[in-house]
């Protein structure tokens, strides 16, 4: 009996989820000048608006991941995306700094746990041999959405206000939530479209129990594992850099490098568009090297190489004398860091097994600390020193540190709770 291919439909839903979650994150960065002008916000205030989302996201990430392990990603992801839609629309009715701060905080609280629960769904629906590619396409969908959003917003701005754009984007999530809840099942064997051969293919080597809901020893084992610590620390730079792209990059390109209109929209989206290539190639490379040389080379080797290139390219952008070269090097740097995402999240599944969501949340929470600090540090440096280069040097240094941390991660060592 040939295995059915229902797992690819499940992956398709998760790719759409990734695209939806990035739509608003990039949208607010592009519309920041209009929002700041209408609500009379300073750069520092806009920085805290950006960070309020990340603060709440970090605060609620682990508990939402734990919730997903208890009741399954089907219901939790439905709630997350419905909440996302409500607060994307709510952003459109903000009337001052305080209201926007509260709305974005509640937005982050509701969206928290989306990616760890997506990783949990992948862990239950994806064979070991396909994990890297699945994660690669997942992040590619997110970054393609983020890369195209500036062009979409630029096309809508002549005919819609920033408030109308947020309201329109918010409606998208309701469609996804309804389709996901109706079609998806937490276990492949529970889905009518999965035959016995496909279920066996998925479950072979999976080492995930559907009855374990976060055993009492999981927190102890997370804290005791050196690989978990270094995996989490390495992820800090990824979120720090990507949040710069999704918040201050358009302003940097306009104020420091002189980009305008069409070129500004293109180069604002270029890091995320190039990240699509990094995501997909990173997934393919980590799967290939894992099959050929094992998990240590396949995961850690890919991550070390990606972060080393990211650091070198970011440092080079600082000394570049031409705007196009500087913008291109930033895009290459960010794309190289995204090359590591498949290895990072596949390693979460390798190490975490049935506790993938909690480990993914711990890693993502560390990343969200980077997301919190990135816009604030950037806004503070620019406001106080009129200096756009310092934030880039910080990002380059963080990427190099992540390369070092990954040399200390061993994805062969699973949490001792199975």
Could you give the C-alpha distances from 81 to 23, 188, 235, 281, in angstroms and in order? Answer: 12, 22, 24, 28
- Taken in order of first residue, the domains within the chain and their CATH numbers are 6-206+215-406 (1.20.1250.20)
Q: Is the pLDDT of residue 96 over 50?
A: yes
pLDDT in tens, 207-225: 554 444 445 567 777 888 8
CB 77 within 8 A of CB 26: no
- Quick: pLDDT tens for 360-414: 888 988 888 898 888 888 888 887 777 788 899 999 999 999 999 999 999 988 8
pLDDT digits (tens, 9 = 90+) for 275-320: 889 989 998 899 899 989 988 999 999 999 999 999 999 999 999 8
Highest mean pLDDT among 59-63, 106-110, 309-313: 309-313
Separation CA 296–CA 409 (nearest Å):
8
Task: State the DSSP string of 39-84.
Answer: HT--HHHHHHHHHHHHHHHHHHHHHHHHHHHHH-HHHHHHHHHHHH
Q: In the predicted model, what is the mean pLDDT of residues 7-15?
A: 92
Report the pLDDT value the prediction gives residue 214, as an integer from 0 to 100: 47
pLDDT tens for each residue of 152-166? 888 888 899 999 999
pLDDT of residue 418: 42
Neighbours of 245 (CB within 10 A): 28
State the pLDDT at residue 215: 52
Q: What does the CA dihedral 137, 276, 76, 7 come to, rounded to 10 degrees? A: -10
Q: CB of 381 within 8 A of CB of 179? A: no
Q: What is the pLDDT of residue 327?
A: 92
pLDDT score for 205: 61
Both tokens assigned to 319? 């000394």
Q: What is the pLDDT of residue 400?
A: 97
């Amino acid at each position: 009996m040939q295995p059915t291919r229902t797992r690819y439909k499940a992956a398709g839903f998760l790719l759409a989820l990734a695209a939806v979650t990035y739509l608003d994150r990039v949208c607010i960065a592009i519309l920041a000048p209009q929002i700041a002008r209408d609500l009379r916000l300073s750069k520092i205030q806009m920085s805290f608006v950006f960070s309020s989302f990340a603060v709440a996201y970090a605060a609620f990430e682990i508990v939402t991941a734990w919730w997903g392990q208890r009741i399954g990603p089907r219901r939790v992801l439905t709630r997350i995306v419905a909440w996302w839609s409500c607060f994307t629309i709510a952003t459109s009715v903000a009337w001052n700094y305080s209201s926007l701060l509260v709305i974005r905080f509640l937005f982050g609280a509701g969206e928290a746990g989306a990616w760890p629960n997506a990783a949990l769904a992948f862990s239950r629906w994806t064979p070991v041999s396909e994990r890297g590619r699945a994660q690669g396409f997942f992040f590619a969908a997110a970054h393609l959405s983020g890369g195209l959003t500036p062009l979409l917003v630029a096309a809508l701005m002549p005919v819609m206000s920033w408030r109308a754009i947020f309201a329109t984007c918010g409606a998208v999530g309701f469609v996804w939530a309804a389709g996901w809840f109706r079609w998806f099942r937490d276990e492949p064997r529970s889905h009518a479209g999965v035959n016995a051969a496909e279920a066996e293919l998925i479950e072979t080597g999976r080492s995930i129990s559907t009855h374990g809901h976060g055993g009492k020893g999981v927190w102890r084992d997370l804290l005791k594992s050196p690989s978990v610590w270094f995996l989490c620390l390495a992820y800090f730079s990824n979120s720090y850099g990507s949040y710069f792209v999704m918040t201050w990059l358009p302003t940097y390109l306009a104020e420091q490098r002189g980009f305008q209109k069409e070129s500004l929209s293109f180069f604002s989206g270029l890091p995320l568009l190039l990240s699509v290539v990094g995501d997909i190639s990173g997934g393919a490379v980590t799967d290939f090297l894992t099959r050929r040389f094992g998990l240590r080379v396949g995961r850690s080797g890919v991550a070390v190489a990606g972060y080393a290139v990211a650091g070198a390219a970011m440092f080079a952008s600082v000394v570049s004398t031409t705007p196009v070269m500087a913008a291109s090097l930033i895009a290459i740097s960010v794309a190289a860091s995204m090359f590591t995402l498949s290895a990072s999240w596949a390693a979460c599944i390798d190490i975490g097994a049935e506790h993938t969501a909690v480990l993914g949340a711990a890693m993502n929470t560390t990343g969200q600390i980077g997301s919190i600090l990135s816009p604030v540090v950037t806004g503070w440096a620019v406001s106080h020193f009129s200096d756009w280069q310092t934030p880039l040097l910080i990002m380059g240094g963080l990427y190099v540190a992540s390369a070092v941390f990954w040399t200390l991660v061993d994805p062969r060592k699973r949490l001792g709770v199975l």
